[in-house]
């Protein structure tokens, strides 16, 4: 293998694929990045065995030569050190040549001879059937991930809760995540062409987090191919192959209350800041308890810590109440996460009882998003 490549293009690819690498992988070779030089492009591959990523660099970019290919071939690079070698290279053009599994890197007067691994020892990525697919705008997919992934359970005893459930039925794509203390659900209505597609998948948090980072500021579309136990995500020059979480995701629809004894509408930023401040007194306690008291168009947010002291703040809201007063205790962190996810100027908070789950939504319902939180019992 022998080629010359523009430093920035090479570095972008290396940095991108290296993100999925598990630095403490059991398999030495999975700490590396496989590069495959074909006749008109360079492909970079990395995997942590659950998420695999493939990144292509075409030899020409808008008629500008990015890679000069002299001899095709493939090798596995030791990722961590190699990326730094490229990053610190003194010139804009980098010459790569392999001699066996050794990689010679030349840049100006700097020469490296880097020990690599045999490309034949690198596992083949699975091939997926292209029968079932769905297209989503990158920015919509980005929103869906951001709005749900924070509610997945960290290292839960039930692995299914470590992923986000994506289900498609009657043109409605529903993404749901819950750690069993709170839940986030976002729905999107798809185009007519997708009207008879159906699926029900659990995508692991880790894969979604990587993918979201890539499409964060993205235009274009994401194309998703799905099978029973895996999906492949295509976006621009990158392909992610993801092993799905197997199992049946719980039916969470029945958890969402529909009858309410108290609601209030508040300015999101004001509510978030008040909770954020008051939580300074609760955040170090295990339950991180914030108390909300709703009276006529007034919300009191407070907390109390034996050790630190207490905090209280009042907010003007628009409330509806069955009784004179409604009180509930809730985790400050969950409250902040939910308000941030709803990302609306005004939110509506709807309570169905002091000990039952309550929901937070945009006050104008302009996005189909529901945040559900279980209160904390304080007695």
Of the candidates 303, 300, 333, the residue with the CA atom closest to the CA atom of residue 316: 300
Considering only residues 304-323, where is the footprint of a copy of itself by CB under 8 A? 307-315
Let me know if 127 is exposed, middle or buried by CB neighbors in 10 A (0-12, 13-18, 19+): exposed
CB 14 within 8 A of CB 96: no
CB neighbourhood size of 248 (10 A): 9
Which is nearer to a copy of itself, 115 or 366 (by Cβ)?
115
CB 331 within 8 A of CB 288: yes
Question: Is 24 a residue that touches a copy of itself (CB under 8 A)?
Answer: no
Considering only residues 196-255, where is the footprint of a copy of itself by CB under 8 A? none
State in angstroms the smallest separation of the CB of 53 from a copy of itself: 24
The only residue of 38, 40, 61, 84 in contact with a copy of itself, by rule CB under 8 A = 84
Question: Is 88 a residue that touches a copy of itself (CB under 8 A)?
Answer: yes
Question: Is 22 a residue that touches a copy of itself (CB under 8 A)?
Answer: no
Provide the angle, in degrees to the nearest 10, between the axes of the packed helices 7-18 and 79-87.
150
CB neighbourhood size of 97 (10 A): 16
State in angstroms the smallest separation of the CB of 90 from a copy of itself: 6
Which is nearer to a copy of itself, 123 or 309 (by Cβ)?
309
State in angstroms the smallest separation of the CB of 44 from a copy of itself: 20
Considering only residues 40-69, where is the footprint of a copy of itself by CB under 8 A? none
Which is nearer to a copy of itself, 90 or 247 (by Cβ)?
90
Compute how many residues bind a copy of itself; rule: CB under 8 A. 32
State in angstroms the smallest separation of the CB of 112 from a copy of itself: 5
Which is nearer to a copy of itself, 206 or 336 (by Cβ)?
336
Question: CA dihedral defined by 341, 295, 317, 360, rounded to 10 degrees?
Answer: 20
The only residue of 209, 273, 295, 297 in contact with a copy of itself, by rule CB under 8 A = 273
Which is nearer to a copy of itself, 1 or 173 (by Cβ)?
1
The Cα angle at residue 306 between residues 273 and 274, in degrees rounded to 5: 10
Which is nearer to a copy of itself, 2 or 41 (by Cβ)?
2
Q: Who's near 286: CB < 8 A, 6+ residues apart?
A: none
State in angstroms the smallest separation of the CB of 301 from a copy of itself: 9
Sheet strands (E) in 158-250: 163-169, 172-178, 182-189, 199-204, 221-226, 230-235, 238-243
Of the candidates 194, 135, 192, 198, the residue with the CA atom closest to the CA atom of residue 168: 198
The only residue of 274, 335, 339, 359 in contact with a copy of itself, by rule CB under 8 A = 274
Helix (H) or strand (E) holding 30: none
Question: By CB under 8 A, which span of 49-57, 143-151, 303-311, 364-372 interacts with a copy of itself?
Answer: 303-311
CB 115 within 8 A of CB 102: yes
Token pair for residue 82?
């190699």
Question: Is 292 a residue that touches a copy of itself (CB under 8 A)?
Answer: no
CB 300 within 8 A of CB 248: no
Q: Is 163 helix (H, G, I), strand (E, B) or coil?
A: strand
Which is nearer to a copy of itself, 84 or 156 (by Cβ)?
84
Question: Is 81 a residue that touches a copy of itself (CB under 8 A)?
Answer: yes
Question: Is 281 a residue that touches a copy of itself (CB under 8 A)?
Answer: yes
Which is nearer to a copy of itself, 85 or 244 (by Cβ)?
85
CB 166 within 8 A of CB 173: yes
State in angstroms the smallest separation of the CB of 100 from a copy of itself: 12
Question: Is 14 a residue that touches a copy of itself (CB under 8 A)?
Answer: no
Binding site for a copy of itself (CB under 8 A): 78, 81, 84-85, 88-90, 102-103, 109-115, 273-274, 276-278, 280-281, 307-315
């Amino acid at each position: 293998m022998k080629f010359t490549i523009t430093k920035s293009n090479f570095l972008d690819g290396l940095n991108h694929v290296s993100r999925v690498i598990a630095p403490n992988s059991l398999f030495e070779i999975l700490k590396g990045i496989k590069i495959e030089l074909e006749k008109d492009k360079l492909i970079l591959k990395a995997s942590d065995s659950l998420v695999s990523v493939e990144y292509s660099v075409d030899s020409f970019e808008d008629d500008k030569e990015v890679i000069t290919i002299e001899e095709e071939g493939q090798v596995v690079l030791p990722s961590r050190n190699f990326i730094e070698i490229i990053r610190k290279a003194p010139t804009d053009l980098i010459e790569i040549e392999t001699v066996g599994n050794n990689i010679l890197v030349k840049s100006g007067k700097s020469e490296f001879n880097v020990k690599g691994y045999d490309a034949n020892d690198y596992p083949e990525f699975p091939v997926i059937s292209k029968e079932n697919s769905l297209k989503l705008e990158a920015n919509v997919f980005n929103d869906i991930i951001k709005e749900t992934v924070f509610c997945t359970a960290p290292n839960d005893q039930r692995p299914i809760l470590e992923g986000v459930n994506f289900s498609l039925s009657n043109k409605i794509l529903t993404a749901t995540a819950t750690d069993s203390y709170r839940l986030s659900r976002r729905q999107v209505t798809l185009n007519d062409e997708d009207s008879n597609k159906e699926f029900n998948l659990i995508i692991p948090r880790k894969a979604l987090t990587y993918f979201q980072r890539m499409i964060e500021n993205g235009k274009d579309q994401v194309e998703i191919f799905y099978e029973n136990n895996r999906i492949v995500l295509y976006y621009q020059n990158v392909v992610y192959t993801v092993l799905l979480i197997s199992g049946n995701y719980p039916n969470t629809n029945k958890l969402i209350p529909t009858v309410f004894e108290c609601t209030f509408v508040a300015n999101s930023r004001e509510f978030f800041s008040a909770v954020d401040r008051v939580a300074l007194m609760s955040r170090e306690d295990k339950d991180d308890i914030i108390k909300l008291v709703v009276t006529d168009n007034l919300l009191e947010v407070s907390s109390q810590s034996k050790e630190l002291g207490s905090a209280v703040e009042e907010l003007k809201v628009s409330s509806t109440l069955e009784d004179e007063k409604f009180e509930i205790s809730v985790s400050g962190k969950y409250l902040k996460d939910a308000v941030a996810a709803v990302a609306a100027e005004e939110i509506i908070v709807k309570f169905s009882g002091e000990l039952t789950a309550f929901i937070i939504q945009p006050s104008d319902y302009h996005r189909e998003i529901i945040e559900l939180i279980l209160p904390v019992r304080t007695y």
